[in-house]
Amino acid sequence: MQKKTRKERLIWLDIMITLLTLELMSYFYYGIRSVFLAGICVVTGFVAELVSLRFMKRSFTADDLTCTSDALILALMFPAVMDYHISVIAVLFAILVAKNLFGGRLNMIFSPAAAAFVFVLTSWDGQLLQYTEPHVKTGLFETPTNLVRSASYVFDHTGTFDHSDFEVLLGNFSGPAGAVSILLLVVAAIVLMMRRSISAGAFLGTIFGTGLFAVVTPMVSSRADSLKYSLVTNMVLFSAIYIVSDLRIAPKRDYYAFFYGLFIGVISYVLVLTGAKENAIVIVSVLFTPIALGFRHLEKKIDTAEQEHSEVNAGEAAVTAAGEEAASHE
Amino acid sequence: MNDRKKAMFGGVLGDNIVLSGLMVISPVIICGDTLKNAVALIYAFSAITFLSVLISSFVPKKLPYTVKVIIYALISALVYIPVKLAAQEFYPESIERIGIYYPLLAVNSLIVFQTEAKFFRMKKTDMIISLISCIAGFDIVMLITGFLRELFAYGTINSRIVDVNTLIGGLSQPFGGFIFLGLMCGVYRFIRGLVSNNNNVRSDADVSDK
Amino acid sequence: MFLINDLIALLAANLILSQALGTSTIFIAAGSRKNLVATAGVITIFTTVGSAAAYLIDLVLQPSISDLRLLFYTMVIGVLYAALLVAVYKFGSRWFEELRRYIHLSAFNCAVMGTLFTINKRASMDGTVFNLGGYVTAGFEAGIGFIIAALILTAAYRKLNSSKVPASFRGFPAMLVYLGIISMAVYSLK
């Protein structure tokens, strides 16, 4: 138990480190506003967690710090110039409604960040899906001007992507503050998988599903371009790491997690391809919650069956050994 | 409060049909997004339910259960006709907005099932008081839901604009209704738990998830 | 690809997630997995057969007396309710006691009646749906939608009723919020 508790904290630390590097990149492109937004989200998340734990009569432990990573994930999915009121409401929704109402980290059902993102999408899609260009630094309380649609939106609707590979790798294209730094995301994915802080099966499944369909039914004439841009746009990489592969939600066994991720990848790609649905992967990951729960239930049943089987085998072995011993004594 | 009083007046707070019994929740979720809709639904629900249960109480009790349930449903379908005709005079706009949920009020479980399970086991006067308290329970929830959802989704109160800083458009949608009603149910139970000093208001539903 | 789009369309047209029809029924049935599946099955029978009868009513009912539609639909469901009970008693008396309660629960509720009214509304707006096949298909789809919603709820049933959920929200309130969030995701796909 002690080991498990420690592990949860380490996972949070790993995730936070990778998120902070993304936030640093966001600061480079969008300035102090991006950091301030992230700070507001994290503080709101922390306070909401404290208050709700108090209502649930539970004490705050280091494991409950996951509320801050959830809030930071959400902040990184927003445009850097997102309205502060909306951000606060979104984080409150994530922590109070999508997480603690169902029992908090001990009984997770939804990814709090994903549920809150969809919540914002349904009420403030105009604010959520309009961004400033990189290197346009907006003051803390300045009203943003010259907002543009994301590069994902342009790609989904026109099939064009006017940025060099170098710009793509560094995240120098319009989109959510933290979900465009592709090089950092790739490094984060490798590190988190190696440290077992995300579900490798779910991550690889999502990438494989999206990639496979991007090659089989390409969005643009070149299959290589289709594969490349399908993975870097629509927050696919970011969501694959921080939402789909969330260890609290994804199936525990890599085998099942792979298929869980695969389905999410395939369905979200089809939605982008046929309906040009921006950031479909986040919506699909919320819709796939019952599937994740189903897989987890199945895993529990398999574990129980395996345990019973091993107990029976151990019992039989003990009886046989006792019988042999008795026979040798005779 | 003794058991008799509890059975008679519990419908308002102690055993609210929407928040506790989860009856007639579809109209609350879908149509309870403005005060005008709420008032129109309150009128329809109150009139149809009160008259239907009252008339149904004269149905012979010796009839088989299935036959009685069908008769209750038919009575409420008949009561619905004059109520709808009158509503067309008073709430013409809301009728259009409420749409199919108007006739659905006539097959609500308070009329079809609670009549047998609860009301017809009481004396006539007790039954009427209990029925009124159940209806009042629905009306209160409907009013609160309509008021709050209209305020935060549209920034208006009874179609008059008020100063709300950030509007939550999703609250006017069906999913907003689900989430709002879920939160309201939880808050209701929490308050009820505080009042009765019993926080385990639904301990019977515990499922071990080990 | 088309299958995925059809699946999404079916989810978007789901009467529980998009119109909250039958929510009370699904919560009452949510007592156990067996209850949910059985109730969803019986409701599918009611919506499918009921929509065929509703077509005949809509065919003969004049618009001037459309307020009588509820009465006629109630009669149809009443007859179907009695017929189903008799049929189960005659041909499956062994399971009668068990099946009876599902039939009682599934007959008069928003899921069934709401389906009939929704199909009627759809047919009045789109003439191509106004035929027996269109009605029966829509009724069957509504039943399938109920089954899907039942499965979605069943998947989370244990977690929503877990002792880890705060007592005030355990059970029905958590179920409402859970369905709300799923419904929100479906809505955002539209």
Write out the residue range of the structural domain in which residue B166 sits. 1-199
Could you say which of C1, C8, C162 has the minimum Cβ distance to residue A107?
Answer: C162
Contacts of B36 (CB under 8 A, 6+ apart): B91, B93, B94, B146, B158, B159
H or E, element range at B86: helix B65-90
Q: How many angstroms from the chain centroid is the CA of residue B181? A: 12
The stretch A262-283 carries a mean pLDDT of 94
Annotated domain spans of chain A: 2-287
C109 CB burial (10 A radius; 0-12, 13-18, 19+)? buried
pLDDT digits (tens, 9 = 90+) for A172-225: 999 998 899 999 999 999 999 999 999 999 999 999 999 999 999 999 999 999
Could you say which of A56, A290, A297 has the minimum Cβ distance to residue C166?
Answer: A56
Interface membership of C148 toward A (CB under 8 Å): no
Q: Please check the confidence at residue A47 and state whether its pLDDT lies above 90.
A: yes
What type of residue sits at position C70?
A: L
Predicted pLDDT of residue C78: 93
Concatenated DSSP letters of A196-209: T-S-HHHHHHHHHH
Q: Are A132 and A149 in contact (CB under 8 A)?
A: no
pLDDT digits (tens, 9 = 90+) for A236-255: 999 999 999 999 999 999 99
Residue B170 in any domain: the answer is yes
Predicted pLDDT of residue B115: 80
Predicted pLDDT of residue C93: 78
Which has the closest alpha carbon to C124: C184, C54, C182, C22? C54
How many Cβ atoms from other residues are within 10 Å of residue B1's Cβ? 10
Could you say which of C67, C110, C179 has the minimum Cβ distance to residue B84?
Answer: C67
A293 contact residues in C (CB cutoff 8 A) = 155-156, 159
Contact A119 B170 (CB under 8 A): yes
Could you say which of A85, A119, A122 has the minimum Cβ distance to residue B166?
Answer: A85
Predicted pLDDT of residue B209: 36
β-strand B160-161 against A130-131: which pairing, if any?
unpaired
Residue B208 in any domain: the answer is no
Find the residue in B nearest to C108 (Cα): B107
Predicted pLDDT of residue A2: 46
∠ CA(A120), CA(A250), CA(A90), 5° rounding?
15
Residue B169 in any domain: the answer is yes
Could you say which of C114, C173, C183 has the minimum Cβ distance to residue B189?
Answer: C173
Q: Are A154 and A161 in contact (CB under 8 A)?
A: yes
Interface membership of A298 toward B (CB under 8 Å): no
A307 CB burial (10 A radius; 0-12, 13-18, 19+)? exposed
Q: Are C115 and B107 in contact (CB under 8 A)?
A: no
Find the residue in B nearest to A83 (Cα): B166
Torsion, CA A171, CA A172, CA A174, CA A177, rounded to 10: 50
Which residue has better confidence, B146 or A317? B146
Residue B205 in any domain: the answer is no
pLDDT digits (tens, 9 = 90+) for C133-154: 999 999 999 998 888 888 899 8
Count of the separate structural domains present in chain B? 1
Contacts of B72 (CB under 8 A, 6+ apart): B52, B56, B59, B111, B112, B115
C158 contact residues in B (CB cutoff 8 A) = 207, 209
- Residues of C numbered 148-167 whose beta carbons fall under 8 angstroms of chain B's beta carbons: which are they? 157-159, 161-164, 166-167
Could you say which of C181, C187, C189 has the minimum Cβ distance to residue A277?
Answer: C189
Q: Phi/psi at B191 (nearest 5 deg)?
A: -65, -45
Predicted pLDDT of residue B201: 46
Predicted pLDDT of residue B208: 36
Find the residue in B nearest to A297 (Cα): B209
Q: How many CB pairs under 8 A join A and C?
A: 91
pLDDT digits (tens, 9 = 90+) for A70-124: 999 999 999 999 999 999 999 999 999 999 999 999 899 999 999 999 999 999 9
Which residue has better confidence, C109 or B135? B135
Chosen for mutation from B100, B108, B141, B190 (greatest number of chain C CBs closer than 10 Å) is B100
- CA–CA gap between residue B204 and residue B119 (Å, rounded): 25
Contacts of B48 (CB under 8 A, 6+ apart): B76, B79, B80, B83, B105, B106, B111
Q: Are C67 and B84 in contact (CB under 8 A)?
A: yes
Contact A122 B170 (CB under 8 A): yes
Find the residue in C nearest to B106 (Cα): C70
∠ CA(C31), CA(C32), CA(C35), 5° rounding?
95
Q: What percent of chain C has pLDDT over 90?
A: 42
Predicted pLDDT of residue B3: 67
Q: Which residues pair with A166 in a beta bridge?
A: none
Q: Which residues pair with A130 in a beta bridge?
A: A149
Mean pLDDT estimate for chain C? 88
Per-residue burial over A247-261, b = 16 or more CB atoms within 10 Å of its CB, e = otherwise: bbbbbebbebbbbbb
DSSP state of A149: E
Interface membership of B204 toward A (CB under 8 Å): no
- CA–CA gap between residue A120 and residue A56 (Å, rounded): 26
Interface membership of A107 toward B (CB under 8 Å): yes
Predicted pLDDT of residue A173: 92
Find the residue in B nearest to C169 (Cα): B186
Contacts of A11 (CB under 8 A, 6+ apart): A197, A247
Q: Are A182 and A158 in contact (CB under 8 A)?
A: no
Give B138→chain C minimum CA distance, Å. 14
How many Cβ atoms from other residues are within 10 Å of residue B88's Cβ? 12
Per-residue tokens: A323: 């019988």
Could you say which of B24, B186, B206 has the minimum Cβ distance to residue C161?
Answer: B206
- Residues of B numbered 117-176 whose beta carbons fall under 8 angstroms of chain C's beta carbons: which are they? 170, 173-176
- CA–CA gap between residue C94 and residue C92 (Å, rounded): 5
Q: How many CB pairs under 8 A join A and B?
A: 23
Rounded to two decimals, what is the model's pTM?
Answer: 0.92
Contact A107 C165 (CB under 8 A): yes
Residues of A with CB under 8 A from a CB of C: 55-56, 97-98, 100-104, 106-107, 109-110, 115, 118-119, 121-122, 217, 266-267, 270-271, 273-275, 277, 280, 283-284, 286-287, 289-291, 293-294, 297
Contact C113 B179 (CB under 8 A): no
Q: Which residues of chain B have pLDDT under 70?
A: 1-10, 197-210
- CA–CA gap between residue A258 and residue A237 (Å, rounded): 15
What type of residue sits at position B100?
A: I
Q: Are C46 and C80 in contact (CB under 8 A)?
A: yes
How many Cβ atoms from other residues are within 10 Å of residue B123's Cβ? 9
pLDDT digits (tens, 9 = 90+) for A131-174: 999 999 888 888 888 899 999 999 999 999 989 999 999 999 99
Predicted pLDDT of residue A243: 97
Domain A2-287 has CATH 1.10.3430: yes
DSSP state of A178: T
- CA–CA gap between residue C69 and residue C65 (Å, rounded): 8
The stretch A26-50 carries a mean pLDDT of 96
Which residue has better confidence, A231 or C40? A231
Torsion, CA C125, CA C65, CA C105, CA B47, rounded to 10: 110
Annotated domain spans of chain C: 2-149, 156-190
Contact A121 C155 (CB under 8 A): no
